[in-house]
Chains A and B, each alone.
Chain A
Amino acid sequence: MSLVNAERQRALVRSERQPASRLESRAVWYVFLIPSLLGILLFTVYPLIESLRLSFTKGVEERYVGGANYAEVLASETFWYAVYNTVYITTFQLLIAIPIGFLIACLINGLRRGSNFFKVLFYIPNATSMIAAATVFLAILHPDGPLNYIVQLLGFEKIVWLSQPVSAKWGAVVLSVWHWLGFVIIINLANLQAIPIEYYEASSIDGATRLQQWWWITVPNMLGSLTLLLVLGWIGGLQRFADAFMLGGLQGSPARSLHTVVGFIFERGFGGNEYGIASAASYILFFFILLFTYLNTKLLKMKI
């Protein structure tokens, strides 16, 4: 009787203690996560919710105005012009940088010696800050800069790059292609190296030429990474600010042709203290980014 009792008591103690100690050992993991969770709460979750709240308010007294800010942003010509500029610069940036980066990566990948040297060489611009890069490009795009020297060598008239809306945007395209190309090359190289070598060996036995191998093996196997670059390029491109700001200032001169979506958020938020408008615009940007990501992944049937 007493033995059974003791047994039962022991079992009871065990069943009481075990969950407690398990709980304790689980609680320790939350301690490991304190810095990250604190960071997420303070610098992601709270700002995200607060931004949404602000987007429905106006003025310093934060008066609730419903969707008025969204309506105002969506009806604003300045905003749509900023969207146009952003999309324009990004479209050409991607159209130029992705194919060129892909070709350069293929060439580097085919090298038996010196591939690491070229990897580093091409990546250097991407490692430096956009501010330093843009500072140099302000001089390159200067009427007496190297770009115009080439233009004149080719027999064309000198272009005052940053004084005309279209040429100013192309100045930004050139800068962003140059700054981003190294990233495209590195991503492509990583994926090129992931293509199973057996594919090439098998096709070699069948007598395929290098060019045939490239077209029938390399290109199809790289479609996934090219899509990924398209998605990443759009996400980064829609958020562009530093390059356009450096070339065109706060207003995106000339004639707002370098005014970007983030430039709009920045100008209204911190230039005009219109937190509501700026927050609404930032949520619209968020929506654009989600939409582009979704469309890209759907259109090209890619898994992220």
Chain B
Amino acid sequence: MHDRKHKWKTMDAATTILLAAVGLIMIYPFIWMISVSLEQTANLALPFPPRLIPEQFAWFNYKLVFENNALFLAYWNSAVVAFFSVMLGVASALLGGYAFSRGSFKGKRLLYFIVLATMMIPFETRLIPMFTMFNDLGMINTKYPLILPSLINALGLVLAKQFFDQLPEGLRESAKIDGAGEFKTFFYIFVPLTGPITATVAILAFQDSWNSFIWPLVVINDQDLRTVPLFLSNFSAENGGRLAGITMALAAMSILPILLVFLFFQKYIIRSVALSGLKGE
């Protein structure tokens, strides 16, 4: 028995070392990105051989990035779009999820099926009509096309529905006896209980919004309205491999917000990824 325990320990240690080694390879591109962004000579040529720690530290790449108005604008645009997308997405997911969980109305099953089916339809099939629609509305080169489609948040709605399903029905009955209508019951009894699921839905919506690329690429041409991924892709397309130091500093800056959100809320994110995968979304 004792021998077996000992064996376990060495296996654990071996596994940990192996995982740490593979994990280092996984994370290496980011470490290298930061290293290049801090390297004195990186703007002339990529440091060769590649190294983990810069030979000569220099901050000027970040200084250039900070002093650049265009990046600040891109950040601002991404933040505004993300904020309103998250608000819309969370509101519609919670309201819809509650109705599908607690409501009884005609066409409930069909409507729920339609919500699930929207998850299967590739975005590209809707790309051109979405563009022409916003174009007809005069909304190209505005933030509206980046925000409004968040109204439909099928995954968030499904997650919210399942969360509401777990709450006891007694909650609703007691509120009803007190004379509260459906909206009052929803806002005062149920919404305050939704903390974890609201966090999950909000983070997923934030990630979607912050990382979104093809749709902003289609509807935004104005330089001043570019979101962070558009700015980054423009910059790296224009400069190729020439300005490696600045490019890596930009990439690092673009990752920072999403990385912080991820590290803070990793529990929620990982659980929701697992849930969404289990559902086959």
Contacts and interface: CB of A to CB of B under 8 A. Distances in A.
Interface of A: 25-40, 42-44, 46-48, 50-51, 54, 104, 107-108, 110-114, 118-125, 127-133, 135-140, 142, 144-146, 149, 178, 181-183, 186-187, 189-191, 225, 228-229, 231-232, 235, 238-239, 241-242, 245-246, 249, 262, 265-266, 269-270, 275, 278-279, 282-283, 285-286, 289-290, 293, 304
A138 B241 contact: yes
B258 A130 contact: no
Interface in B34-74: 36, 45-46, 48-50
A246 B278 CA distance: 31
Given A43-B151, A50-B129, A249 B237 contact: yes
Interface residues of B, number: 97
10 contacts: A36-B152, A36-B153, A43-B152, A107-B19, A123-B270, A130-B213, A139-B46, A232-B280, A286-B122, A293-B120
A36 B157 contact: yes
A44 B133 CA distance: 12
A266 B19 CA distance: 40
A191 B186 CA distance: 33
Given A35-B91, A140-B32, A128 B123 contact: no
A37 B111 CA distance: 9
A29 B48 contact: no
Contacts of A262: 124, 214
B10 interface: no
B171 interface: no
Interface string B225-259: 00011001100110001001001101100110011
A43 B126 contact: yes
A135 B232 contact: yes
B129 A187 contact: no
Contacts, number: 284
A28 B181 contact: yes
B196 interface: no
Contacts of B199: none
A142 B255 CA distance: 21
B175 interface: no
B121 interface: yes
A25 to B, nearest CB: 7
Contacts of B23: 118, 121-122
Given A47-B126, A278-B128, 15 more contacts: A29-B103, A36-B92, A38-B151, A43-B152, A46-B129, A124-B259, A125-B27, A128-B211, A128-B258, A131-B229, A132-B229, A133-B29, A142-B241, A235-B122, A241-B214
A135 B236 contact: yes
A128 B111 contact: no
Contact of A124 (B104, B131, B214, B262): B262
B128 A136 contact: no
A42 B151 contact: yes
Given A149-B50, A242-B213, A129 B255 contact: yes
A136 B233 CA distance: 11
Contacts of B114: 40
A218 to B, nearest CB: 15
A51 B262 CA distance: 36
Given A132-B255, A146-B50, A286-B122, A47 B244 contact: no
Contacts of A132: 229, 232, 251, 254-255
A139 B95 contact: no
Contacts of A266: 127, 214, 218
